[in-house]
Structure 1
Amino acid sequence: MTHSPRQEVTNKNKGEAAAIETELLRDYRFGQQQLIEIWGQACAIAITKAFPLSSLAKKQPTVLVICGPDQNGSIGLVCARHLRMYEYEPTIYHPQRSSQSLHQDFTVQCEKMDIPSLSYLPTEVQLINDAYNLVIDAMMGPDADCANIKEPYPGILVTLKQVKIPIASVDVPSGWDVEEASEDGIAPEVLISLTAPKKCARGFSGKHFLAGRFLPYDIQKKYELNLPDYPGTDCLLEL
C-alpha cells in the first residue's frame, strides 16, 4: 500500500521542531556538524532533482546561494559544496558571516573548493536574472523572528521578490513565519523541508521535498511525524 504524504505527514510548529533537534543532539548524540552535513547534502540532492543539469537553460549551471549567519546559512554552505561536486557552479553570497567555528569551517571548505563568494548582492535584479539559473535561499530558517528582520535582509527580500529565475528555500522560506505562510516573504518554487515539514509549509504550493530519512524510529513515533516511505535508498522524497 502506498502512502499519501500530503495527507499523512504531520507539520510541526517551532517548538516541536526545536525539541526534535535538541533530542537528536542530547539523547541520540548526533553532532551539530553531522546534522548540518546530512541536511546540506540532502538539499543539494533535492536541487539536482528539481533542476537537473540537462534542464538548465543557460550554458553554465550557475547557482547563487544566499547564506544567513545561523544554522540555515551553514546548511546552505554545505549544499553549495555538494552542488560543486555534482558539477553545478555555485556562488555564495554571505551578507553577515558568523563567528561560530562550525560556520567558519564550512566557509573554509567552500573556499578550498574555489567556490566564489560575493561581497554584495547585485542591486540590479537583471544582473541576477542574467548571471544565474537559480537562487537558493538559506538565509533565515525556523528560528528567525520575522517581525524583527534587520538589515541587510529586508533589502535582500525585496530583491528576491523581483527575480524571475526560480528560488529554492531551505526549510522555511525567508520572510515566512514558521507557523504560517506570509505575504511579506518570498515566493519560492521549491521548498526543502528538513526532518519534518513546518506548519507554514501547508501554505506552500510548489515542488516540496522532505529530507528526514535519518530520523530514529523512536523519535518518529514520539512526535507522531507519520513520515512516508522513502523510495529505495533515497535520503529525501517529493511530497
Structure 2
Amino acid sequence: MEKMNQSSAEAEAETIEPLRYLSKGEAAAIETELLRDYRFGQQQLIEIWGQACALAITKAYPLSSLAKKQPTVLVICGPDQNGSIGLVCARHLRMYEYEPTIYHPKRSSQSLHQDFTVQCEKMDIPSLSYLPTEVQLINDAYNLVIDAMLGPDADCANIKEPYPGILVTLKQIKVPIASVDVPSGWDVEEPSQDGINPEVLISLTAPKKCAMSFSGKHFLAGRFLPYDIQKKYELNLPDYPGTDCLIEL
C-alpha cells in the first residue's frame, strides 16, 4: 500500500507543470489585458505591487534582524512605473516602522508618479538630492538598498545618465540590494553577467526570463492575477500560503 501511495505521489509530481518565466512581450501583453479587459487601474496595480514589495522586504529583512542597527533603507526610484512601485513600497515600509529614504535621480512629469511622491512627502519620508559616489557613505548610512530604477520596460543597451553612474556605485556597495521585478541594467530575457548583483528579487505578476538562474532570495507577488489570464498564458503559478499575497520561490 505504501508503495502504491509513493508511486501515485511521484506520478502527481511529474504532472505538475513548471512555473512559466515571461518574455518582455508576454509581460507587456498581460499588463495590457489587465488594464483594458479586466479594468484594473494603473494606480491600483502599482499599489498592489508596491505593498507586496514592502511585505517581501519585511520577510527577507525583518525588523528583528536589524535590531542592533537602524532599519534604514535607501529606495532608488526611476521615473517610470518601477519608480512609482518603489515610492509605494517606501510608504508602506514607513508604516511597518522601517526608515526609508528616497533617491529620485529624475522626477517624472506623470501625474500618477507625482501623486505617489506627494504621499511619501506627507509621510515625512526624506529624500536625497544626489547619491553619494563615496561607497563608504552608503555602507555607513543604510542597511538595505531597494532598486526600483529601470524595470522591465528599460532598454538596457541604451541606458542614459545618471543611471549608468548609479549602477557603477551599486556594484561596489556592501549593503544588500533588493530589486523590483527586474534588476536595473539587466535584460528582461537574459541573466546579467556583469550587472548589479541583488541579494533579493521581487518578481511582479509572474517571473521574467532573466530570473531563471537567479540564485538569491526570490519572491513572487502575483496572487491578484485573474484565473483566466493564468490559464491563457499557462503561468503555472504556485499555491500561495494561507492569505499571503506573495510567496518565496
**TM-score, normalised with respect to structure 2:** 0.92
Larger displacement relative to structure 2 (54-63 or 79-88) = 54-63
Cα distance between partner residues in 2 of 1:115 and 1:4: 43
Instruction: Write the deviation string for residues 81-110 of structure 1: whole angstroms up to 9, x where unpaired.
Output: 000000000000000010000000000000
Cα distance between partner residues in 2 of 1:3 and 1:152: 45
Q: Which residue of 2 aligns with 1:85?
A: 95
SS of equivalent residue, structure 2 residue 172: coil
Instruction: Write the deviation string for residues 128-185 of structure 1: whole angstroms up to 9, x where unpaired.
Output: 0000000000001000000000000000000000010100000000110000111232
Cα distance between partner residues in 1 of 2:32 and 2:17: 29
Cα distance between partner residues in 1 of 2:247 and 2:127: 30
Instruction: Check conservation: 1:13, 1:178, Cα contact below 8 A.
Output: yes
Q: Which has the higher contact order (CA 8 A, sep 6+)?
A: 1
SS of equivalent residue, structure 2 residue 219: strand
Instruction: Check conservation: 1:57, 1:133, Cα contact below 8 A.
Output: no
Cα distance between partner residues in 2 of 1:72 and 1:58: 31
Instruction: Write the deviation string for residues 170-216 of structure 1: whole angstroms up to 9, x where unpaired.
Output: 00001100001112320000000000000000121000000000000
Query: What is the CA distance between 1:59 and its match in structure 2?
Result: 2.5
Query: What is the CA distance between 1:57 and its match in structure 2?
Result: 6.0
SS of equivalent residue, structure 2 residue 212: helix
Query: What is the CA distance between 1:123 and its match in structure 2?
Result: 1.1
The yes-or-no answer on 1:3 pairing with 2:16 is yes
Cα distance between partner residues in 1 of 2:102 and 2:68: 19
Cα distance between partner residues in 2 of 1:144 and 1:28: 25
Residues paired across the two proteins, number: 235
Cα distance between partner residues in 1 of 2:161 and 2:68: 32
**TM-score, normalised with respect to structure 1:** 0.96
In structure 2, runs of 5+ residues without a counterpart are: 1-14
Cα distance between partner residues in 2 of 1:94 and 1:3: 43
Query: What is the CA distance between 1:4 and its match in structure 2?
Result: 9.0
Cα distance between partner residues in 1 of 2:112 and 2:147: 19
Instruction: Check conservation: 1:3, 1:228, Cα contact below 8 A.
Output: no
Instruction: Check conservation: 1:176, 1:200, Cα contact below 8 A.
Output: yes
SS of equivalent residue, structure 2 residue 147: strand
Q: Deviation above 2 Å: which 4+ runs of structure 1?
A: 2-5
Instruction: Check conservation: 1:3, 1:229, Cα contact below 8 A.
Output: no
Mark the structure with the bigger radius of gyration. Answer: 2
